[in-house]
A and B are shown apart, each in its own frame.
Chain A
Amino acid sequence: MLQRKKHLQSIVVPHQKDTAQKPTEVLPTPDFVYLSMSQHIGVPCNLLVAVGDRVQVGQPIGDTEGFVSAPVHASVSGTVVGVEGVRSASGGEDQLVIIEADKEQTLWENIQRPQVKTREDFVKAIRSSGLVGLGGAAFPTHIKYAPSKPKDITTLIVNGAECEPFITSDHRLMLEEAENIIEGSLLVMKYLELKECFIGVEDNKPDAIEGLARLIREKGLSNIQIIPLRSRYPQGAERVMIYEITGKTLDAGVLPAEVGVILSNVASIAFVGQYFKDGIPLIKKRITVDGNAVTRPANVLCPLGTKISDVIGFCGGYKEKPDKILMGGPMMGRAVFTDQLPVIKNNNALLVFSGRQAWIQEETACINCGRCHRACPFKLLPVQLSTAVDKRDLEALARLKVMQCMECGSCSYVCPARKPLSFNNKLGKNIIKEAAAHGK
């Protein structure tokens, strides 16, 4: 096994993976689903259906020609009963297509296994599946799989690190859909003509590592290798994973393709494997439901567009009044203001916190302990960056390389003064982008 001696700086975040041993439960079809037209980082989709239309499972209901976008498909069969403009979790405008489910779950008649012969067919098939990066970034996968210099890409890295506390959906997926992961990897390798594949998994999931390794042995695959990684945070970050597996460093904004690597989350790869078997586009998502305010923590396979409150309801409802709900993990997840928002493609956890777990602790004076700097995988100086942000000092922000920050939150996590360092870095990046947009 490949083991690096040198590692990037990292931190230990205690894991609270209460749901790791709980098999995924399938959420019964909800009465209504609310499908967001903006489930990828590009421009939102245009509607392909109108109020009153009948839709079937897997039928495209939104698409756009915009660059980094992917289509959205109906996750239930039923009737479109409304189109609603809402404020999204990220604060922007979002359009929700509301479908009343008829609970029949009839498949769309045009669904068929993808017929793929060439690389172009493959990328096209991936696009029509609506797949985006399921690890959290929601970057459309078909763009990732169509690099500008395909000849230079040799390696597929499958990211199964799952370094966030609480989240176990990828862990369950690796146990329950190992076959799909291997098949998906082989498909990507075949059509993108890649030589090798590494599946990186944190060593706190020995059962997942063992299961995948056994499958690889049984199938006699020599070009796929499981890489056990240290259980450190942020092991699952793209740039960290690439360094730990290949030893290659890349700056922020540089695509992995430039160092000959394509990196996909294990859930995305498993979807590719599944999609080539049945042709059903991305309409459901495995998510971890946990936190001190939820009655029955669980892993749930739910249709996209299910309201957060419906998912919580399936998990026994709220144990106490929720104070904070996160889409994603506690380190990088997004706090939402209402539980009436729907589950989206890149959502891998719903964490419901109340009381102590939801508190925002008061900021105190920086004591210059240097912990933030020692925690940063890229050796940035978060406190100095904060000062530069306060002064809106563009020169200092550039010199201190604020754009290298990937907002993993390690600096904020370790700060004994509870300073929002990661958030300040985000502000710093915005200041730079703003200045660039104004041509300064």
Chain B
Amino acid sequence: MKFSKEELLKFYETMLKIRKFEEKVSDLFSDGHIPGFLHLYIGQEAVATGVCSNLKKDDYIASTHRGHGHCIAKGADVNKMMAELFGKETGYCKGKGGSMHVADIDIGILGANGIVGAGIPIAVGAGLTAKVKGQGQVAVAFFGEGASGIGYFHEALNMAAVLKLPVIFVCESNNYAEFTPREKHLPIQTVAERGSAYGIKSYMLDGNDVLAVYETFDEVVSRTRKGEGPFLVECFTDRWSGHFVGDPQRYRPLGEKEELQNKDPIIKLKVFLQQEYENANDEINKIHQTVDNELAYAEEFSKSSPLPHGESTLEDVYAQGKQYECNSI
């Protein structure tokens, strides 16, 4: 597949935006601006970018606890994302959800999710809508290899296959489920081989190579749109940071972290760009500028946004807006 320079630069920008967003929120977390848990996506940028670059605005994704990258690649507003992490009123969820619950239904983001595997059947539901309404959308479920141990995964694959739904199951195999290495919780070599048990065609690819991800999804997404789905794609990638910010990672073998950096998907694309195009560096530098500015603004926006008032805890529980007490409706 031949990519245009514009396409390559766009991939670069998306991956860089994810990386820089994560680095920034990690710092802001350490400085006490962000409460709760943060699960960083650093290292896995090529997967979200390669997948979502094939999706349209009205396609659906169901994300995970490690969801910032998926949301950014699907086009989420980084200001609202960051403000949500700060717990501010201007955040995507008005401060009610936090990092694990960023959602934007207007652009098909059905939500990050604090429950491992829970997004998988939700994507199947979105796939059903797409099929019923017949407007050619696809639904993508992101999950880790750890999530393939949960019943949700198996039930959802089976159901999507039985109902022939336009759903793509994207496993981000990053070798750890929290602190437990892959071989301790997965009795087989690949999650992809589980697809065949449900009659689902499965792919495997190098998830640190955005071009490889894009190419496979170019095919998988268009076949899914034509009604040939569902599909399962296992993307082998790496989680550079701990399970969450602050995880001391005692379970990681010495030297592993350093090795991972040699597989940096962003550097890989950068080198490719430099080889292909003489003046690539100018454009790359420009992208760095743009992304830095965008995130500096997001930080400013988040810091200067107001915190929500306590009483707004009571709002949004029901469609009517207000919460109910059993004795005082």
Do A and B share a complex? no
